[in-house]
Structure 1
Amino acid sequence: MKATLPSEERLKSIKFIEELFKRGSSYFLHPFKIVYLADKKDNRVPPKILVSVPKKSFKRAVDRNLLKRRIKEAYRKNKSGIFSSPDIVMPSHLAIIYIGKDKLDFDTIEKKLILILNRLKST
């Protein structure tokens, strides 16, 4: 699995986003909430992801975009190590929602994202 985040791996379809939030399972690990839908048959394809930072917590678009870039980069760097096992069932869709109230640095975001994705791998 390449360490890239192409357009095919991003969740953009309104239909699939609605389905994810309607039928998906979720859990929290501060500062993230993960919503996932595990109904995929092909384990070699990485999940389509959606990254969200609420406007309620960060009014300025600059801050929201900074956090989204950090989350996407942390995911991109670590997805191959997390989803490389052939025996795990990967979700087909994955939403990563930042629920923290303050801007964290990249290293902290990366550590927390690895923890939460490893928890996803074990479910």
Structure 2
Amino acid sequence: MKQTFGKDERLSNHRVIGRLFQRGSTEIQTFYLFPFRVLYFVDPAPPSELPQVLFSISRRTFKRAVDRNLVRRRCREAYRLNKHILHELPAASRPTYLAFLYLAKEKATYDVIEKSMKKVLARLASTSSAS
């Protein structure tokens, strides 16, 4: 498996993003694991075999775009290097759309973000395989 993070893996469809952040929706699963809040759902007819991912860093917390971009870059890199955890799942139970919301108040080091990303992906794998 290639360790890339191409355009086909990025979530950019406004309709799907709106569906992910819709309040009160029963199809959306969510959990919190510091420093991330993760929202996801499984589409019965996925458009591709790869999960589509969105990373969001709050403008309220990080005023400067340089800081937001640094954290986003670290999150994307941690996901790119550890996404094999999700790809080992069968396609039917794999989350189709994922959103990672970074909630920490300060910039975390890459090591902290990577440890958290591994825990998040392991939890996604365990909940997906259990259902």
Runs of 4+ residues deviating >6 angstroms: none
Which 5+ residue runs of structure 2 have no aligned equivalent? none
| Alignment-derived partner of residue 6 in structure 1 | 6
Kept in 1, the 8 Å contact 2:49–2:91? The answer is no
TM-score by length of structure 1 reads: 0.91
| Alignment-derived partner of residue 115 in structure 2 | 111
Kept in 2, the 8 Å contact 1:40–1:90? The answer is no
Kept in 1, the 8 Å contact 2:86–2:94? The answer is no
2:80 aligned with 1:76, yes or no? yes
Q: Structure 1: how far apart are the matches of 2:103 and 2:97?
A: 19
Q: Structure 1: how far apart are the matches of 2:92 and 2:111?
A: 26
Q: Structure 2: how far apart are the matches of 1:49 and 1:40?
A: 17
TM-score by length of structure 2 reads: 0.86
The alpha carbon displacement at 1:39 in A equals 2.2
The one-letter code of the counterpart of 1:118 is: A
Which 5+ residue runs of structure 1 have no aligned equivalent? none
Q: Structure 2: how far apart are the matches of 1:78 and 1:112?
A: 11
CA RMSD across the alignment: 1.7
The alpha carbon displacement at 1:87 in A equals 7.5
